[in-house]
Amino acid sequence: MLIDTPIGPLVLRGTDRGLTSIDFGGEPGPESPLLLHAAAQLTEYFEGRRLLFDVPLDLPGEGFHARVQAALADIPYGETVSYSELAALCGNPRAVRAVGSACAGNPVPVIRPCHRVLRSDGSLGGYRGGLDAKTWLLDHEKRVRGNL
């Protein structure tokens, strides 16, 4: 399923158990009630009307990458952490590169907010959707949070 957003088209995919991926472009698959639900929540987020997501996810759940994915969900809306802070939160302060790899491989960006992870010096680092998208997401959250 494809949705248009301020950061470009997003392709949503899922199973009957939950959302499996959000991609920046690509060939969309069929719609389903679950994907329509996810699309509605993403639209609300981009309109500044949603701070948290409750879409069911169907993601692998083992190992360090899974711990990073879970920790991403705990980063508050409109706030940021560094890759090294996230590594420490995941129980391995020296695993900064592994955190970067887990963020780069995040299957559900925006919902699991890897855009909220920055380099220790405050610079953006990378983002699968591009740095313009990461900047837009961070600015959007600061703007919305400032209006609460």
Residues marked as catalytic: 114
43-73: b (≥16 Cβ within 10 Å) or e: eebbeeebeebebebbbeeeebbebbbebbe
DSSP string, 2-52: EE--TT--EEEEE-SS-EEEEEESS------HHHHHHHHHHHHHHTT--S-
DSSP label of 76: P
